[in-house]
Amino acid sequence: MKKPILTLAAAVISASFSLPALSAGGGDVILRQEEWSFSGPFGTFNKASMQRGFQAYKEVCAGCHSMNYIAFRNLADLGYNEAEIKAIAAEYEVEDGPNDEGEMFMRNGIPADRIPAPYPNELAARAANNGAYPPDLSLIVKARANGADYLYSLLTSYEDAPAGTVVPEGMYYNAAYSGHMIAMPQPLYGDDVEYADGADTSMDAVAKDLVNFMAWAAEPALEERKRMGVAVMIFLVLLSGLSFGAMRFIWADVKKAEA
């Protein structure tokens, strides 16, 4: 009986602590690695960095990439209060309806709305990007193995192609991307945004902020899951101690009789 119990306990701890399984990157290269605050069993999100990452997403990425699974009210996790969330939502126009005449109409966003996509559909997105489809960024960190490090590498690895390498029209050379030819133009150059808190706006710093924001978007419940994992581990340790003590107590008379 001990082996199945130990196996189950290990599975529970592993499921509680580890990040979700990620799909293989198919030739992608991890060129840069960071010690992310959300890594490890006790990892937590850096709210200040996530807020900066959200700003960078709005100003740099949102023109092409959607965040279909994030509602404005979810931004409370980043440290925004109710008034700030309402103000952010009101900056967007959201399609609603039909009205009494059966027609769709546009209105200002409210906290319950999801962040609107930049294009009405995939065909429109491809038409605006030379046939390439900008992926939704809600779960992008989970879409690649070592997703955080891969995205950080991708955002900071645009460079001139090696001598003799032909870059097709509409493509760009990225040392971290599978095949090195990517349809997305270089998004960051440094000083692309101006943070209200005066934080570093170098390419590396903004890339880290974006990764922190997208890591949260991919798993908003990560901190809660890790806290549960710690509680489960403590419970299992206490349960093991109680079980061992109970076993010694129950078998004490038997051992005395045998002696």
Residue-range domain boundaries for the chain: 2-258
Report the pLDDT value the prediction gives residue 236, as an integer from 0 to 100: 80
CA pair distance 67, 61, nearest whole angstrom: 10
pLDDT tens digits along 49-95: 999 999 999 999 999 999 999 999 999 999 999 999 999 999 999 99
**pTM of the complete model:** 0.80
What is the mean pLDDT of the segment spanning 200-213?
98
- Single-letter residue type at 68: N
CA distance 197 to 115: 24
In contact, 105 and 96? CB cutoff 8 Å: yes
Q: What is the mean pLDDT of residues 220-237?
A: 78
* Cα–Cα distance for residue pair 36/152, rounded to 1 Å: 11
For 34, 127, 158, 164, 188, the CA distances from 191, given in Å and listed in that order, are 21, 29, 16, 32, 8
- Cα–Cα distance for residue pair 98/25, rounded to 1 Å: 42
Query: Which residues make beta-bridge pairs with 177?
Result: none
Q: How far apart are CA 22 and CA 158, in angstroms?
A: 24
Average pLDDT over residues 200-227: 93
pLDDT in tens, 244-253: 888 877 777 7
Q: Is 183:172 a contact under the CB 8 Å cutoff?
A: yes
CA–CA distance from 98 to each of 101, 104, 119, 139, 195 (Å)?
7, 5, 20, 30, 39
Euclidean distance between CA atoms 39 and 148, whole angstroms: 10
CA-CA distances (angstroms) from residue 103 to 96, 174, 208? 9, 45, 43
Tell me what percent of the chain is helix, strand and coil, each rounded to the nearest 5: 45, 5, 50
Domain 2-258 homologous superfamily, CATH: Cytochrome c-like domain (1.10.760.10)
- 20, containing H or E segment: none
